[in-house]
């Protein structure tokens, strides 16, 4: 008897290197914003926002269907 998923396509689709590159760039920009920011609250807000956006872009680049 054949396995259940013998005819299925793989769950991981082709990666998009452009999205992954933008995601890594956004994470690095968030880290640099945390280091070089002046106002603590603004520094935290900007750095966390950039890091979250970066991880979202990486997640979209390696989307699992």
According to the model, what pLDDT value does residue 21 have?
Answer: 95
According to the model, what pLDDT value does residue 14 have?
Answer: 74
According to the model, what pLDDT value does residue 58 have?
Answer: 93
Is 37 part of any domain?
yes
Is 47 part of any domain?
yes
With a cut of 50, list the residues of the chain below it in pLDDT: none
Rounded Cα–Cα distance for residues 61 and 20 (Å):
5
Task: Give the total number of structural domains in the chain.
Answer: 1
According to the model, what pLDDT value does residue 38 have?
Answer: 86
Is 10 part of any domain?
no
According to the model, what pLDDT value does residue 8 have?
Answer: 61
According to the model, what pLDDT value does residue 28 have?
Answer: 97
Domain of residue 38 covers 17-61
Residue 17, token pair as written in the block: 């290197």
Is 25 part of any domain?
yes
According to the model, what pLDDT value does residue 25 have?
Answer: 97
pTM: 0.74
């Amino acid at each position: 008897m054949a396995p259940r998923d013998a005819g299925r396509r793989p769950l991981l689709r082709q990666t998009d290197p452009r999205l992954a590159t933008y995601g890594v760039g956004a994470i690095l920009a968030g880290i640099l914003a945390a280091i070089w920011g002046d106002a603590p609250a603004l520094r935290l807000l900007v750095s966390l926002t950039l890091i979250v956006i970066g991880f979202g872009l990486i997640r979209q680049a390696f989307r699992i269907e």
